[in-house]
Structure 1
Amino acid sequence: MTDNSSDRTVTSGEQSFEFDLEISELSALVSDCAIALFDADGFITEWNSGARHLTGYDAETIGGDHYRSLFPTDAREDGRPDRLLERTRAEGTVEDDGWRLGDGDSRIWVCEVIATIRADGDVGVPVASAADLDGYLWFVRDRTADHGRARELREEKAFTESVLRAQPDILYAYDTDGNLIQWNEQFERVTGYDPEPPSDVDPLTFIAPEDRDHIGDAIERILEHGERLTAEGRVLATDDDRIPYEFNSARIVDDGDVLGFTGVGRDISDRKARERELERLERLNAVIRTIDDTMVTADTRDEIEAAIVDTFAASEGYRFGVIGRARGVTTGEGHSWEPTARGGIDAAGADGCSSFVDPPVDADGESALETRTVQRYRALRDSSIEQWRHHAREHDYGAVAVIPIAASNQPLGALVIGTAEPSAFPDREREVLQEFGGTIGHAINVMAVRRLLYQDSVVELEFESTDRGDACIRLSDELGCELSVDHVLPLTGEVFIYYLTASNVDPDRVRELARDDEAITDYRLIDADSDESYWECVVRNATIAETVTGYGARLQSKTVRDGVAKLTVQVSSDVALQEFVDTITSAYPDSRLRSKRTVERPVETRGDFRRTVESMLTDKQRMALESAYHGGYFEWPSRHSNAEEIADQLGIARQTFHQHLRVAQAKLLSAYFGDAD
């Protein structure tokens, strides 16, 4: 194609129009369009000023190059230019968008149209054979700016959509007529909303009926007064659950016109759960404070138990309280439990609570009396355990907690409390209840000890034991000696300080075996002579004294000779003796009760105690003790006088004063702690 013009025919219907195709004339008609002519093989033959302006190539430079030279490398390698020309031959005209190359490998996004030029002069008509094709007409418009804007819009839309998808909150927008116009996937997941086909959706459709009035008022204030509001309401979820949400909403305004409102809804279930937990803890603490005040003034265990269950039953948030005592131990079967006090529930219902203290084998739980830990059972109205489900529905409660009551690691009983809330007793509340159970056990134990100290008569039991589970028996057996327990001081429910006298044994052997015994965590030689050594040992568990202390009993004496122990224990007359004996013989099977007797104890007045002390002191010892007391020697941190001043007043040496005072103090403490004759 060498001429700049030629005769062409365009066919329309049954009429034909002939015209001369002049590229310069086409350029004048479409000044902002790049126009070029290709020969039948796709090589560039004509190039107008628009094409030069678009690509930067002039006609001399680009002339003779193939159409494919205008494509980026990846498109050329993919064969895209050749396929476009092939389609043009088959279809007559082809439109395409894409990147093209300009001078200096600049990239231009274009919208192009390619049309066939037939040998017979027709333009844009399919060509059946190569002989019929004279060339191609190429029209191109620069759309780089539009493509950039479109890409920015797509990126902005993709970013917005990704934010909406990633947002854990529900996002929404409504117009002034209450039609839902924008939302995210979380909105669909929570509400179950199906946007296909679109329909008018009132904002209150997804709100629980009981919350619709105040949410509706909030929407009205937003639209009418432009307030930015935060409101709480429960969303109706797909599973008919009511999920608490906090909504933050504001108006949509354009040039002063109110278009609707938009906002964010955040799931506040965790926050509400924490608030409920805090409220429950506050109520529980109030209940415990009330019970603590009662336990201080109570005279009997029955009073303590009645106060506990009555206070729980009367407290908001709790349905009932049932307390029971741990009864005799049966080897291999654990402790039994019998209700002794109840509040907020009838006798039959209280008896039914025993299945929580000793749960069935198919239940997910353990006996609180055995584990010594609080057990909780939730959602009981729908429990898979039939007796629990029936009991919960009959007595209208949703969850229970079983609190073990123990002293010195000895189970005394268990408290069962019920609440309406099916998900009650979270971990923090269980911790408080665990501590509360220990407080009850301590109060009961202290009360038993107090009764033991002040009763006129007590029951004295004598045991004999060869059980090597007891650390003292084990130590005596291995040493082949006699050990006498002079005093036992409980540090905690599991740790005791033993003051022991070892007779006819080398102290080094005692030290060696004590070091190797796992139950003895610490030891110290206090004094020793040729026949005896006096020891202080810290023992963890593994002693009969632990079991005795748990019942508020008192170990009067314990002597172990060659692994055979004889123990004398005093208990209050109102202690269940058979249960107490069974507890000891079950914990230490190689033990047996040898005798039982009631011991009358004389009433000792303050004057009796004073006379006892005076009979033990010499005149010089009494004088040293009395002058030190009245002279302010024992006042601390600021003393009114020191040892030297008091010694001068008595006319004795300071060392002598210290000697008299120390002996007098020892005799006074002996009288107080019961070691005096």
Structure 2
Amino acid sequence: MGALARESTDDGVLSGPEYRELAESAETYRKALVVRLIGEVGLRTGEVTRLRPDDVRSTGDRASGALLDVRAESGERDRIAYVPDDLRRSLDRYVRSNGIDADERVVDVSPRRIQMLVAEVADRAADRTGDDRFAAVAASDLRAYFARTLLVEERVDPRVVLAVGGWESFESFDRLLGEPDESTVAAELSDADVGTGDTAPARASDGASRAEELRERADRLERRVDLGDRVRAVDDAVLSASDRDDLEVGVCERLAEGDEYAGAWIATSDLTDERPTPAAAAGIDRSGVDALIERFDEASAVPPWTEAVRDGAVSVAEIDEGLPAGDADGAASDGEGSVVDADRVGAVTAVPLAHRETTYGVLAVATDRGAPEDWEGEELSALGRRIGHALTAIQRRNLLLSDAAVELEFRCRDEGAVFVDASARLDCTFSLESIAPVSASSLLFHVTVADADPGDVFDLAVEHRGVEEVRLVETHGDGALLEFVVGGDSPLLTLAAHGATITDAVFESGDGDLVAEVAQDADLRAVVDGLRTAFPDTELVGKREVERPVQTVREFREGVEDELTDRQEATLRAAYYAGYFDWPRGSTAEEVADSMDVSSPTLHNHLRKGQRALLDTFFEGSVGGE
């Protein structure tokens, strides 16, 4: 067990905050999923590699979450594990976004690679926190955290923990959970009420205390369920939004519909004057927001929305703590037409709306109760990230649909960028051929390298932790085509995260020339500042508006016809209508070949060349494959 774990808790296992810090340090969706499958489901590294979507099944009406059939090396079911509901949703999103079939492996790597992914997350946690003890965390520490959380924090029956975690005996827990100290023994057994010496009034008092505790737990559970319903309603608004205005209004309205929040509003990220202008609001109007602002001004307190944008994290301010009563004229609507005095607001929680390096604004929610509990803050933080991701998607869609854009040209000499560094150290040239998304935080690059040996490139690439995978596609002349999966260390990834489309990129002997297009309504300052923040030795060298030619369906078809021979078009048409491209296939290649009275190799030759012509026409003129 790592050094961090030994110093973190009395029983020598990661604490809850430490585990959350570790999980949040995963810079790719896949790494986060791996950490959570071990730390929250209890899977071994080999079991993670054997997980398939159809191994996950509903619990029916018995509970939320899902059951997981854990596979042994033989492929047979070894045991049943439990997947929490939020992790099940994350797993479903990962499967859908990566096009993983029901019988395919979700994380198709070796167990050794799983261990390496955990180590990379641990290293990043150490860098983020400045605490080198994180670097010692391994997959076994995540399994230990899983066991301790169930046994000690959740007080789950040890027999259940033994079964879902796949441990052979209760002695297996001995190395995971240290010996309890005297205070723990006393505290635990005093609550057990062993013996017969209690008096009746003492028992009655204990019973009343227990009843009050149960009522409080029930109230907390009810609030958690209500908030979960509210968050799901907001998610529906996010998914159905057609543009940014629609999204922001929908988010605020859904949050203010229930009893959880008295009002909600969204402001832009430009809060230099600390007086946000709501872009959308519900349950509260401009005067109500102004009244709250005045209370912070009079108390000389930094508003939570300013802290949220500055720190990139949820910020909470309790109004009753040192803030004046404010102007009684400030009011907010409770969503049903009545007016709520702004003085009754007990706390304001501000959530940054961000995706990777881009912060689009801040969501503020007001309550008539105190500060939210930790779990509520975590729910709101995750919601803010989802909204930020949706805003990025809307911005990219606007760019794709627009017939005009703003072209930005950058010069990057930052050694922290993987291609800048490699081109300088090898005195070679990298030319970007294509970009494709792999996950929410990773991109697939196809890059041509000239004047360098691919093996030397591989050796340098592994030094950059943002490079997840690299392979040789083919060699030609004095160069080669390489494939990179990059989750960091690249200005191209940063630009893509800001909603930009990369149209050209060349890295030569330490100089990177990048060209990207953004929508006309994009926040250009946020794009430029975000890139400079990630890679300081970068400058904007050009900006201009460009027309983006719109091609009609007829023009596209004519372009395809110009590229195809008659035989290629006939072969593609026959194969298409025979169901050759369906899954499962309606006809085999041999059947299509027989119907056209050609040999199978001839058919494949026409099909491959025809498909290449189609793809050339579709992807022509766009590195990113618009």
Give TM-score scaled by structure 2 length.
0.60
> Which residue, 641, 645, 649 being the options, matches 2:591?
645
Alignment of 1:419-568 (within 5 A): 419-422=367-370, 425-568=372-515
Shift of 1:376: 4.0
Helix, strand or coil: the match of 1:265?
A: helix
C-alpha contact 1:462 1:566 (8 A) present in aligned 2? yes
Alignment partner of 1:316 is 2:239: no
Partner in structure 2 of residue 662 of structure 1: 608
CA distance in 1, matches of 2:446, 2:294: 42
Match of 1:106 in 2: none
Match of 2:201 in 1: 183
Counterparts of 2:396 and 2:218 in 1: how far apart (Å)? 42
Distance 1:533 1:327, change over 3 A: farther
Alignment correspondent of 2:211: 268
Displacement of 1:675 in angstroms is 4.6
Q: Report the Cα offset of residue 172 of structure 1.
A: 11
Change over 3 Å in CA distance of 1:475–1:343 after alignment to 2: same
**Whole-Å separation in 2 of the counterparts to 1:433 and 1:164:** 38
Deviation per CA, 1:438-477: give whole Å up to 9, x if none: 2211221111111111111111111112112222211111
Q: Tell me the equivalent position of 1:412.
A: 360
> CA 1:613–1:276 in 2, change beyond 3 Å: closer, same or farther?
farther
After superposition, the Cα gap between the structure-2 partners of 1:389 and 1:484, relative to the gap in structure 1 and judged at 3 Å, is farther
Deviation at 1:631, TM superposition (A): 0.7
User: Contact 1:327/1:336 (CA < 8 Å) preserved in 2?
Assistant: no
Of the structure 1 ranges 265-274 and 468-477, higher mean CA displacement relative to structure 2 is found in 265-274
The higher relative CO (CA closer than 8 Å, separation ≥ 6) is in 2
SS of alignment partner, residue 556 of structure 1: strand
**Could you list the runs of 5+ residues in structure 1 that have no partner in the other structure?**
1-162, 174-181, 191-263
Residues 309 and 165 (structure 1 numbering): CA distance in 2 closer, same or farther, change over 3 Å? closer
Deviations 1:17-36 (A, max 9, x none): xxxxxxxxxxxxxxxxxxxx
Q: Aligned match of 2:286 in 332, 343, 347?
A: 347
SS at match of 1:284: helix
After TM superposition, list the pairs within 5 Å mapping 1:345-424 onto structure 2.
345-347=284-286, 349-350=288-289, 352=292, 367-369=307-309, 372-377=312-317, 380-384=318-322, 394-422=342-370
CA contact (8 A) 2:319 2:348 kept: no
Q: In structure 1, what residue type is equivalent to 2:407?
A: E
Q: CA deviation at 1:367?
A: 3.8
Going from structure 1 to structure 2, the CA distance change for 1:607 and 1:588 (only over 3 Å counts) comes to same
Asked if structure 2 preserves the Cα contact closer than 8 Å seen for 1:326 and 1:412, the reply is yes
- The alpha-carbon distance between structure 1 residues 166 and 661, as it changes in their structure 2 partners (threshold 3 A), is closer
Query: Contact 2:305–2:362 (CA<8 Å) still a contact in 1?
Result: no
**Residue 88 of structure 1 corresponds to which residue in structure 2?**
none
Post-superposition Cα deviations, 1:288-342, rounded to whole Å, max 9, x if no partner, equal 34434444443331221122223323322211112122239x9xx9x99764323
Relative to structure 1, the CA distance from residue 617 to residue 277 in structure 2 (aligned partners, 3 Å threshold; closer, same or farther) is: farther
Higher helix share: 2
Residue 574 of structure 1: how far off its partner (Å): 0.7
- Give the Cα separation in 1 of the matches to 2:258 and 2:249: 14
Query: Displacement, 1:384?
Result: 4.5
Asked whether the equivalents of residues 514 and 520 of structure 1 are also in contact (C-alpha less than 8 Å), the reply is: yes
1:345 alignment partner, SS class? coil
Aligned to 1:635: 582
What is the one-letter code of the residue matched to 2:615?
A: L
| Partner Cα distance (1:497, 1:354) in 2 | 49
Q: Per-residue displacement from partner, 1:593-630 (whole Å, max 9, x unpaired)?
A: 22211111222222222222222222222222211111
Q: Tell me if the contact between 1:475 and 1:514 (Cα under 8 Å) persists in the aligned partners.
A: yes
Compute the displacement of 1:349 (Å).
4.6
SS of equivalent to 1:267: helix
SS in 1 for 2:259: coil
Instruction: Flag the structure with higher strand content.
Output: 1
Q: 1:516: how far off?
A: 2.7
Alpha-carbon distance change, 585 to 269 in structure 1, aligned in 2, over 3 angstroms: same
Q: Give the aligned residue type for 1:507.
A: P
What amino acid sits opposite 2:559 in the alignment? T
Distance in 2 between the 1:540 and 1:676 partners? Answer: 21
Once residues 164 and 542 of structure 1 are traced to their aligned partners in structure 2, the CA distance between those partners, rounded to angstroms, is: 55
2:603 and 2:250 map into 1 onto residues whose CA distance is: 54
| CA deviation vs aligned residue, 1:367-418 (integer Å, no higher than 9, x gap) | 43455443445xx244256699999995312233322212234322221112
Alignment check: 8 A CA contact 1:479 1:562 kept: yes
- Let me know the Cα RMSD of the aligned residues: 3.8
* Offset from partner CA, 1:108-146 (integer Å, 9 cap, x none): xxxxxxxxxxxxxxxxxxxxxxxxxxxxxxxxxxxxxxx
Paired residue total = 420
Query: 2:261·2:367 contact (CA, 8 Å) conserved in 1?
Result: yes
Match of 1:284 in 2: 227
Equivalent in the alignment of 2:250: 307
User: What is the distance in 2 between the residues matched to 1:437 and 1:493?
Assistant: 15
* Pair 496,166 (structure 1): closer, same or farther in 2 beyond 3 Å: closer
User: Which region of structure 1 is more displaced relative to structure 2, 573-582 or 438-447?
Assistant: 573-582
Partner in structure 1 of residue 536 of structure 2: 589
| Residues 283, 383 of structure 1: alpha-carbon distance in 2 compared, 3 angstrom cutoff | same
Secondary structure at 1:613 match in 2: helix
| Cα pair 1:485 1:500 within 8 Å, conserved | yes
For 1:434 and 1:613, how far apart are their aligned partners in 2? 47
CA distance in 2, matches of 1:349, 1:656: 74
Contact between 1:320 and 1:343, CA under 8 Å: does it hold in 2? Answer: yes
Cα 1:285/1:401, change in 2 over 3 Å: same
Q: Does the C-alpha gap of structure 1 residues 562 and 642 become closer, same or farther in structure 2, counting only changes over 3 Å?
A: same
Aligned in 2, Cα 1:277/1:401: closer, same or farther, shift over 3 Å? farther
Report matched runs for 1:574-613 at 5 Å. Answer: 574-613=521-560
Q: Structure 1 667/272 Cα, relative in aligned 2: closer, same or farther at 3 Å?
A: farther
| Shift in CA distance, 273/266, structure 1 to aligned 2, threshold 3 Å | closer
